[in-house]
Structure formats: C-alpha cells, structure tokens
Structure 1
Amino acid sequence: MKMMGKNVLTVSLASVLALGALSTTALPVGAVGNGPNYNGNESIQTSMLTTYEEMVDYLKKQEARQEAMKLEVIGQSVKGRDLYAAKYISNEENPTIVFVTQQHGNEQLATEGALEFIKHLGTGKTKNVLQNVNIIVVPMLNADGAMGDVDFSTNDYVAAGGRHLTRTNANDVDLNREHAKEIIDMEPEARAFYENILEKYKVDYLIDLHHQGTQSAINDQYVSGSILYPTNPNVDPAVVEKSRQLGAVVYHQIESKGWGLLGKYNGGTGSNIGRNGIAERYNVATLLFEMRGMSDHFYEPYVLGQKSNGYLIRQSVETLDAAVKAIADGSIENVDTSFWDTLPFQRNKASEEEGE
C-alpha cells in the first residue's frame, strides 16, 4: 500500500485553539480548504491536533472564565486518564442535549470543534440559549486511543507527528460496540459515560460525532459528512421522529452554508451501536454525524489531509450551535423532516469505509 508523505508542518492546531483564533464566524468559505470535493491526499500530522493534556488545560481555563460552565471528571480510561464532561445546567426542567466525541480515538476534528464550541458558550451571545437548554459536552471519550497509548502495535498507522491515534481503546475494544451490554460489563470509558451521564441526567437529545472514510460521495461529489437517526426496530417511533427533527436542524444548517454536502449514512440496526442502544435504553433522541475523513488509520484511504481541517472543525461547531439554538427556542419541534425521505445514501467512490 502506498503511504502518504510525512513532511512536517509548523503550525499546530492546538496552538491555534489555545490562541482562540477559531470562531463560528472566523472561517470564511475560502478558509475551509477546497471543501469536501478536495481529495485531501497530502500529509497527515497528528502534531497539529490537541493532545489530551492540552485539552485538559484548555477545559480548566475555560471553566475558570465561564460562570455557567462546570467541569467534571466522569471516570477514567483504561490507562487511568481522567475523562471530562463540560456541563451547562441552569435548570433541571430544561431539555438537555449531550454531545459526545471520540468514542473512536482516531476521529478528532469533531473534538477540536467541540472545544471551540465550549469557548463559544462562554461569550455573551449565548446567554439566552443557556437559560433554556442544558448542555453536556463529553470530548475525547477514548482518551487512550487519541494519544496512541494502547496495548497493541500502531507501527502500520499512516500519520506522522509524534503519536498515532487508534479507533479502539487501550484494550483494543471498539467503544461504539459496547452499548447493548450491562453497564457493569462495559469498558471503563463507556461505563463512565453511562454511569455519570446517561444514568445521572434526563437526556432528551444526543449527537454522537464520528468520522468516516474519505471516499463517500453523492452524484460523484465527496460529502462533508453523513447523518442517521436510530434504526433499531425496538426504538419508540416518537423517539425516532425527535431524532429525525434533530437531524433536520443539523442538515439545514450545514446545507445553508454552501460548503457542506451531507448524505444519509448506511448504518446498522444493532443495539450495540450508540445511536441505537442509547435511544432504545433511555428514549433519547439520537443523531449520528459522521464527518469526512479520519485523523489516523492503518488504511490510507480512511485518512484525510489537513487542508480539510478548517471546514470540518467549522462543521462541528455549526452542528452543535444549531442544535442548542433550535432546542432553546423550541423551533426543533416544528422543523420540516421531509428531507429525510429524499436524502440519498452516500456511496463510496473507491472502497468500503469504516465508520460508525
């Protein structure tokens, strides 16, 4: 298999985030690479991605600056890393939405977007939103995989930059296949998420942010991502409809920007997958969002070059921002979901892709 070049780039995304250079309005279309039609076949540098330690420092600084934010440790990873949740809970009677990123450690740009979104919640622009919706952000659930601190070889992984990022956790277990288990039998990361988020709060909505491969397309155009509601037959139809509404909010937001192209994800029906298992167990409206391209993998076509980082991070921020606003003002309850009936499934240009 032909490997990508590994030339070193000098600017780290972590430092950009730390300086606050990204915002929901700071990335004009011209700054998002060439959008999803860009092939992305340049070098991959994990040194441009926020490390676990940098993330923790960033979250603690945001908590110190934001009166509404409470940072909590919800558990530990296999390797003993604290797992964090940023919580904005003003009224327990408000609807609550949870955002979770990096169940798969090699899918990090959604986390970069979530960190930027947390900073955005500290601005005066979100005061009315925070009064009407509770928000819980769980970034980097698979912290060991995100740092490549795992008990299996990563020698065949593609990216350069000082560390590799793996889909599975340190025990080589896929956290997004844990959701049908008894909680006590889950891997430490999944168990922490269940015990201290899903069991502790009455969650109304949840967006599970992932990354898929690079070759998915609609009408021969690469997609910027794909979405899907619960498809398990045991999920309450009312919950499915709420999930479709959540997806509609996200779809209309991204499509309106002009640089995003979303397809329907061709996902399974198993309860072991987050969007199905959580919806079935807790009657939570769930949405899977698969962003284009992974940050690392042993199979080169799954990994996307960094010129695409800008629009994918922005896509994450836009997704989270649109969701909370629609829940806060109640417009989610009246959103038109008919687009789902004609939204085409994405198709792979080249080869089968690993995703959800």
Structure 2
Amino acid sequence: MKKKALALSLTGILALGAVTPASLTAYAVGEGPNYGGNESIQTSILYTYDEMVNYLKKQDAKQDAMQLEVIGQTVKKRDIYMAKYIKNPNNPTILFLTQQHGNEQLTTEGALEFIKHLGTGKTKGVLDNVNILIVPMLNADGAMGDVDFSLDDYIADGGRNLTRYNAVGADLNRDHVDKVHPETQALHKNVLQKYKIDYMIDLHHQGTQARRDGKLVSGSMLYPTNDKVKPEVLEKSKKLGAVVFNAVDSTGWGHLAKYNGGNGENIGRNGAAVQYDIATLLFEMRGMSDHFNESAVIGQKSNGYLIKQTITTLDAAVQAIADRSIENADISFWDTLDTQR
C-alpha cells in the first residue's frame, strides 16, 4: 500500500508540465493544506528503514554507476548507507545529507527518487563531470522511533512515530565538533574526511508557518555563518544557494526565504565548512512528518510538492556543478532576500 500511494504522488509531481495553473496554485507547497486531523501526513506511506535499504539495494543492482556503501552504524546498530557516484575522482564532488533529524523525512523520499533518476537517460553525461554522494536517513533510529525515551507527545497519524533525536535523545546536528555519537562519527570519519568534497547540501524540515512577503514559504536556506569560514568557501556556498534559489523560487509553487540559523561550529553546515573547507547550504523544507507540536506537521496534500522540491534542488545543484555554471552564479540576491518570519 505504501509504495502504491507514494508512486501515485510522484506520478503527479513528475508530470507538473501537465498541471493547469489553477490546480497548481491550489496545492502549491507554500499554500497547501497545513496540519491537523485528516490533513496530517500519513506516516505509513513513508519509507521505513528496511524499505529504504531494499530500495537502495535494488537501485545498486540496476545502476552500473552506483556503488552502495555502509559508512557506519546507528546507536541501535542499523547500518548507515551512502549511494556513491564517482566516475572521475578529479571531478568536483557534492554531498547530499538527509534526516539528521528523524522526523524530517520528505527530503529522504525526494533523495531516493533522485537516486532512481540518476539511473535513467535523463542524466546522461552529468556523471561524467560531477561526483555525487548521497547519505539518506542518517538518523535511522529516530526515523523509526526506536529510541530510549518516551514519544507519547508525538502525533504521527497512520503509522510509526518519528523523532528529531537519535536513540539516546541527542540532536545529531549539534554534534559536529565533539562527534560523540556513532552517526556523527561515521559521517565525519567515513565521508567528510575520506572524500574530497567540494559542496554539501544538508536537507532538513522546519515548521509550517514561516512567511516571506506575507506568504507562506516552501522552505528556507542559509550558507555557513561561523566566523572561521574562509571567504572563498563562503562565496562558493552562496553560489550554491543561488543555484537552488533560482531553480525553486522560479517554479511558481516554490517560495524561499533566508533561514535564521545559528553560528555554532557544532551545526552541520558550519562544521563542514570550517573543518573541511566544504561549501555548504542548509535547506529547510516546510513542515515535518511528526512532531509534538501539531502546527509543525505538514499536511498530507503538500507532501508531493515537497518531494518535488527536493528533487528540483538536488538536480539543479548537480547540473550547475557539472556544467560549471555555478562558478558564475550571481550571489547578490542574498543581500535582499528576506529572513523568514
């Protein structure tokens, strides 16, 4: 049932060219149904950890260019997977990271669809010019609600509970200096330190009510803001953001703002930029799959557009790096982009 439901959603979003302007406006990401009651997302349609692993293994068997690698394990001993596309080590490399927070899953759904997309003729030639690393569901224990603390306050509708934290209640996106937890250790030791990574997009979710220009946003972005980030890394980060902004905000259904984020090096986008000189971008999609605050949970009818927004983000970044157009991206829009409210 889950795969049928998700397939129907993706069929619609991948055929956006056939959607009339009126219907597109009705269910645009920024303006779609929000939360509560029958509108809350049915978590039963989302990939479980085991379903995700089976999906990745099937794609690995189908795609000659793909290598599936286990980079470590979670607290509860779940393997953490990375999909790897490296044809030429001298090409620029981008890392996509999803679900550091276990209750932020629609970006993982989009990343999995993007992996399938990489195995089709639509991306012919791209992999000759860019290397891609994708780590979906870093926090698999939180995504499965397999934790050593109570989830009674969470409100998952139609399936499992998902929580922001890992199995022992830690926020992995605050562990990029001390690196106490096995998930963060695996990411740093076996990805960030192992590969020469030029760009990273860290995909998250935020609440449902943030606005820009009085309109609900479909997401928000931010470059690294720690004062130890090198100027050239900051500039590359802003160029990565420009590529994503131009791809998403121009669609008519995506509406992006600047995220009001912290400066600590312990945050992923800051830590990777400071410690490894990686150009980083935080992308916060609208709404969460589960949360103790009902107003933060995304509406069921908006999930397809958030998945599409993830695919658009990943595809635009890869294309711009592959053809080197990212090098000429105009970053001046950051000076006038409103911080969401």
1:343 aligns with 2:337: yes
Give the one of 45, 48, 51 matched to 1:48.
Answer: 45
CA distance in 2, matches of 1:237, 1:311: 34
| Of 148, 157, 161, the match for 1:160 | 157
- Return the offset for 1:23: 8.3
The reply on whether 1:97 has 2:94 as its aligned counterpart is yes
Match of 1:176 among 166, 173, 177: 173
- Which residues of structure 2 form unaligned runs of 5+? none
- Counterparts of 2:145 and 2:194, CA distance in 1: 30
Q: Which amino acid aligns with 1:213?
A: G
Match of residue 117, structure 2, among 117, 120, 126: 120
Select the residue among 209, 212, 229 that pairs with 2:206: 212
Does structure 1 residue 25 correspond to structure 2 residue 22?
no
- Match for residue 132 of structure 1 among 122, 129, 132: 129
Which secondary structure does the structure 2 equivalent of 1:247 belong to? helix
Give me the whole-angstrom Cα distance separating, in 2, the residues matched to 1:17 and 1:40: 19
1:79 to partner: Cα distance: 0.5
Aligned length: 333
TM-aligned CA deviation for residue 280 of structure 1: 0.2
Deviant stretches of 4+, over 2 Å: 14-35
Corresponding residue number in structure 2 for 1:72: 69
SS of the residue corresponding to residue 209 of structure 1 reads strand
In structure 2, what is the equivalent of residue 353 of structure 1? none
Question: Would you say the 8 A contact 1:74–1:82 is kept in 2?
Answer: yes
Residue 319 in structure 1 maps to residue 308 in structure 2:
no
- Provide the C-alpha distance between the structure 1 equivalents of 2:163 and 2:32, rounded to a whole number of angstroms: 24
Post-superposition Cα deviations, 1:296-341, rounded to whole Å, max 9, x if no partner, equal 0111111111111011000000000000000000000001111101
* 2:187 pairs with 1:198: no
1:98-121 deviation per Cα after TM superposition (whole angstroms, max 9, x unaligned): 000000000000000000000000
Quote the offset at 1:219 in angstroms: 2.1
Give the match for residue 298 of structure 1: 292
1:221 matches 2:215: yes
Are 1:151 and 2:148 matched, yes or no? yes
Per the alignment, in what secondary structure is the counterpart of residue 36 of structure 1?
Answer: coil
8 Å CA contact retained: 1:23, 1:120: no
Give the SS at the match of 1:137.
strand
SS in 1 for 2:124: helix
DSSP 3-state at the match of 1:35: coil
Task: Output the TM-score relative to the length of structure 1.
Answer: 0.90
CA distance in 1, matches of 2:29, 2:267: 29
Residue 127 of structure 1 and its aligned partner are, at CA, apart by: 2.4
- CA displacement at 1:156 relative to structure 2: 1.2
**Residues 33 and 301, structure 2, Cα contact 8 Å, conserved in 1:** no
- Name stretches of at least 5 consecutive residues in structure 1 with no aligned partner: 1-10, 348-356
Q: Distance in 1 between matches of 2:206 and 2:154?
A: 16
1:202-281 to 2 correspondences below 5 Å: 202-281=196-275
2:42 and 2:156 in contact (8 A); partners too? yes
Identity of aligned residues (%): 66
Give 2:160's aligned amino acid: R
1:87 aligns with 2:84: yes
Residue type of the partner of 1:241?
Answer: E
